[in-house]
Structure 1
C-alpha cells in the first residue's frame, strides 16, 4: 500500500467548522470600511437612543451577513442595553414570524403556536423592551424575500412606528439586500419612507486577490499542512470568481477535501476540485429551492416540465398547461413567476409582437432543478 494513503480514522480537516456557510471567522478581512459605517449607524443605540436605519446592499457572498453578525456579536459582549436580533427572511418572511423571533430573543422562547394574535405578541415585545429599558436593533437579512411576499412595508411600518403605540420603545432596522435589482426607495410606501430614511452601505464583490487571501486563511485554519497546494488553491479561487459568490468557494474547499478523503489521499488534487465544483456551483439553486412554499414548488415543477418538452415557454401557455395541477388564478401564477425571476431561478423576458409576450426560461438545466426539488 502507498504511504500517502489515509488510514480509515484519519482526516484532512483540522477544523471542519471553518468550511460551514454560517461560520463566523475570527479575522474578518476587507470589510473594515463597511464595519465602521455600520458601527456609526448603531452607536446611538448604545447610549439608549434609536439606532440609525441602514441598508446593506451587495451581491450574494460579499460579506454583508458576516459583517452584521460580527457587529452583533461585539454588541452582545459589550452591553445589555442594545438587543440585536438577526432575522433570516428566507425562512421567516411574514410579519408574525419575524415578531415571533424577536419575542424569542427577548424572552428565551417562542410565543404559543396557536391562539396568539399578532397584537398580543407585539404587546409582549413592547413590555419586555420597556421593562428591561433596552433598545431593539433588528437585522432583516435577505429582506428582498419580504418584497416578493409583499410583507416588507408591513414589517417596517410595524417596527419603525412602534413608538407611536408604545411610548418609550426604540427600534432601529438594518435591511440586508442581495438582489441588485431591488430599489428600496421605490419599494417602500410613503408612510414607511417618512420614518425609515436609511443610510445605504454598499458591499462590492471581492476581488481576485481578496478571495485568494480569504481562502488561504480558511485553508490554514481548517486543513492540516500540505492538504492543498498553491496551484490547487489558485484553481479554487478561479472557480469561485467564475461563480461570483464566495460561499461557493468555501463549499468547494469542503467538498474537495471530502472527495480526497473518500479516495484515501492526503492532499487535494484537480480531480477532487472539479468533482466538487460540479456540486458547489449549484449552491444557490439548492438553498433557494429550500425556501420555496409548496405552491411555488409546484409552479417551478410545471415550468421544468414545460422546459424539458423543448417548447418556448410563453407565460400564458404555461399557465394553461399547469393550472389543473396548480389551481391558482393567473394573477397569482404570474406573481410567483416574477418571484422566481427575482430569486434567479428563471428569466422572465418581454418580447414585442402581437401585444407584449412574456417568455420564461430556466436559469439551470431542468434535470438539475428537478433533482433539488425532489
Structure 2
C-alpha cells in the first residue's frame, strides 16, 4: 500500500530556495523590456564612463529588485572595472550607513564602528576607485526610505558630486522606488537635481496570466511533482492578483507547503492555502515594520492600542496626548513619525473641515494585526 504520510525526514520541497523573497531565478520572464532599458543605462560604465542615473519605479512585487540584481550579477560576470553595489535602504537609510555598505563592498569589511568620520569614509572609497580605475554603480533599493528619513539629498549629493573633490571618480545611481506617491526627481533639491537627471523605467503590475506563469515555474522548480494541484494553483494566483504583490504568492506557496509538511501530508490542500494567506496577505506590513526604529515601532503600537480602545478615526492631537503618556516625545518628532507612517502606507493621515482643519488618523491595517506583527518583530519570530 502506498504511504500517504510523510516520514519525519521527508520533505515536499525540491528546492526551498526558490520560495525565498530574494531568490533571483535564472529564467526571469515578463521584464525583458525593462532589463534592456536598464542595461542601456549602465552600459557607459562598462567602457569606463559614468553610468546614466536611473529610477526603477513600480508597485511592490513588480520585479524591480530582481531586474536590478539580475543586471548587477551579469556585470560582475564580465568585468571588474564596473563595481555594482546593491543597498537595501529599508535597513541602511542614513548617509553613513549607505557609504559603510559601499566601503564593505570595496574593502571586504565594514569600517570601524567608531572613530571614523564620514569624510574619512568617503576619502577611502574615492581613493580606492581612483587607484583601481573603477567605476561605481550604486543600487538604492527602496530609495523612498531615504526620503522618509530626510537623507536622500545627502546621499545623492555625496555620490554624484564626488568627482568634484576626487577627479576621475565616476559614480552612477539606480534608485528603486515602490511608493507611487513619491517622485524623486521633484523631491531632491536643486544642487542634486542638476547632476541626478535620471531616466525613469516603469514596472507595471503583473497580469493574472503573468502571475500564473511565474508562480507555476516556481512550483515546478521548488516542489516535487503532484504536491500542488492545478486548481489550487489557480486559488494562489487569484489571491496573489487580489493583493497586487507577487511576493505574497511566493510567500503563500512556501507557507502552504510548510503547513502540509507539518500535517505530514504528501500534497497541499485548500486549508493550507487559506491558512497561509492569513499571514502572507500582511507581507507589506511585516516588511514595513522591519524598517522602523524601536521608538517608531513603540509609537505605532500605541496608535494601534488607541484604535482598539476607541474603535474610530482619531484626531492627531488626541493620539499625541495618548502617545506622550507612554513614550514621552515632542510633538514635532511625533508628527514627523505620523507623516512617515502615512508615506509608508501604514496609516491614513487626512483632514476634516470644521472650525479648523483637524488632522485625522486611521490605521490601514487591523490594529490587532499591527500589534501582533510588532510583537513578532520584538521577539524576532516570523
The bucket for the TM-score relative to the shorter chain is: over 0.9
Q: Tell me the distance in 2 between the aligned counterparts of 1:267 and 1:307.
A: 41
2:96 aligns with: 96
> Quick check: 1:214 aligned with 2:214?
yes
Match of 1:274 in 2: 274
| Shift in Å, 1:367 | 1.3
- In 1: Cα distance, 2:365 partner to 2:216 partner: 30
Contact 2:185–2:198 under 8 Å retained in 1: no
Question: Structure 2: how far apart are the matches of 1:109 and 1:342?
Answer: 34
Pairing 1:1-374 to 2, within 5 Å after superposition: 3-310=3-310, 311-374=312-375
SS of the residue 2:125 aligns to = helix
TM-aligned CA deviation for residue 225 of structure 1: 0.5
Superposition deviation, residue 2 in structure 1: 7.3
**Which blocks of at least 5 consecutive residues in structure 2 are unaligned?**
376-382
Q: Distance in 1 between matches of 2:25 and 2:220?
A: 12
1:304 is paired with a residue whose SS is helix
SS in 1 for 2:325: coil
Whole-Å separation in 2 of the counterparts to 1:312 and 1:196:
41
Structure 2 SS opposite 1:370: helix
CA distance in 2, matches of 1:289, 1:369: 9
User: What CA deviation, in whole Å up to 9, does each residue of 1:13-42 have, x standing for no partner?
Assistant: 000000001111010000000000000000
Q: CA RMSD in A?
A: 1.0
Question: In the comparison of the two structures, how many residue pairs are matched?
Answer: 374
What is the CA distance between 1:295 and its match in structure 2? 1.6
Write the distance in 2 (CA, Å) between the matches of 1:317 and 1:9: 55
Q: In 2, distance between residues paired with 1:258 and 1:325?
A: 39
Instruction: Give the CA deviation at 1:278.
Output: 0.7
2:264 and 2:111 map into 1 onto residues whose CA distance is 49
Aligned mates of 1:43, 1:19 — CA distance in 2 = 31
Q: Kindly state the Cα deviation for residue 327 of structure 1 after the two structures are TM-superposed.
A: 2.2
- What is the TM-score of this pair, normalised by structure 1? 0.98
3-state SS, counterpart of residue 226 of structure 2:
coil
Q: What TM-score does the superposition give when structure 2 sets the normalisation length?
A: 0.96
Three-state SS of the structure 1 residue aligned to 2:225 is coil
In 2: Cα distance, 1:332 partner to 1:245 partner: 32
Alignment partners' CA distance in 2, 1:195 and 1:263: 57
Give me the whole-angstrom Cα distance separating, in 1, the residues matched to 2:2 and 2:213: 33
| d(CA) in 1 for partners of 2:18, 2:259 | 17
The 10-residue stretch of structure 1 (300-309 or 75-84) with the greater mean CA deviation from structure 2: 300-309
How far is the alpha carbon of 1:153 from its aligned partner? 0.6
SS of structure 2 residue aligned to 1:85: strand
